[in-house]
Amino acid sequence: MANSFQKHKRSDRVKWIIIFVLVFALIAGFAGMAVILNREVKTYDLTSLSYEIGGLDAEGAEEEANTAIRTKDFQSVDGLTVSVSDDMTVTYQLFFYDADKEFLSASDELVIDFDGTIPEGAEYVKVLITPIEDEDGVTFTEIAGYAGQITVTLDR
């Protein structure tokens, strides 16, 4: 009887060890896949949540203004592309900054896709979107409509 009990106990241990090894292998497999997938260059588009009401002056400094919207944060220039919708009612400008976030230069006001020419030494960009006709100034509810007219894509 004792011999039968020991065999049963031993087979339970073997089952738990096998289950543990399988669970560990499954977790390791998921972790490995996550690392592999994370290595791929991924892009993302700025959304309307990336913008706030305000302007940028000729030296790239933020200024209080309700005539435009600008990106809230500095964005890396890696993979920067900008495409515009066919029915645009805005212009946009790109303001470029160096690694210390010091202003370098700004593009002209654009109504076409960005040609991809980034100034030498530029590490960051801010986007300024200005409505062509908006007599009462930009309101919070209009940010999504204006931001949605251009698609800014960046590498992650």
User: What is d(CA 24, CA 11) in angstroms, rounded to the nearest whole number?
Assistant: 20
| pTM of the shown model | 0.74
- Residue 30's pLDDT is 86
User: What is d(CA 67, CA 55) in angstroms, rounded to the nearest whole number?
Assistant: 7
What average pLDDT does the chain have? 90
User: What is d(CA 22, CA 26) in angstroms, rounded to the nearest whole number?
Assistant: 6
Domains of the chain by residue range: 1-40, 43-155
**Range with the poorest average pLDDT among 11-25, 79-93, 129-143:** 11-25
Q: Pairing mode, if any, of strands 124-131 and 90-97?
A: antiparallel
The amino acid sitting at 41 is V
Mean pLDDT for the stretch of residues 113-121: 93
**pLDDT at residue 112 above 70?**
yes
User: What is d(CA 50, CA 156) in angstroms, rounded to the nearest whole number?
Assistant: 15
User: What is d(CA 152, CA 94) in angstroms, rounded to the nearest whole number?
Assistant: 10
**Range with the poorest average pLDDT among 6-10, 79-83, 112-116:** 6-10
DSSP annotation of 145 reads H
Structure confidence by residue, pLDDT tens digits, 44-90: 999 999 999 999 999 999 999 999 999 999 999 999 999 999 999 99
- Residue 38's pLDDT is 66
Q: Which residues pair with 84 in a beta bridge?
A: 150
- Residue 3's pLDDT is 60
Question: With the CA atoms of 48, 54, 55 and 59 taken in that order, what torsion angle do they form, in degrees rounded to the nearest 10?
Answer: -110
Mean pLDDT for the stretch of residues 18-38: 85
**pLDDT at residue 1 above 60?**
no
Residue 101 near residue 128, CB atoms below 8 Å:
no
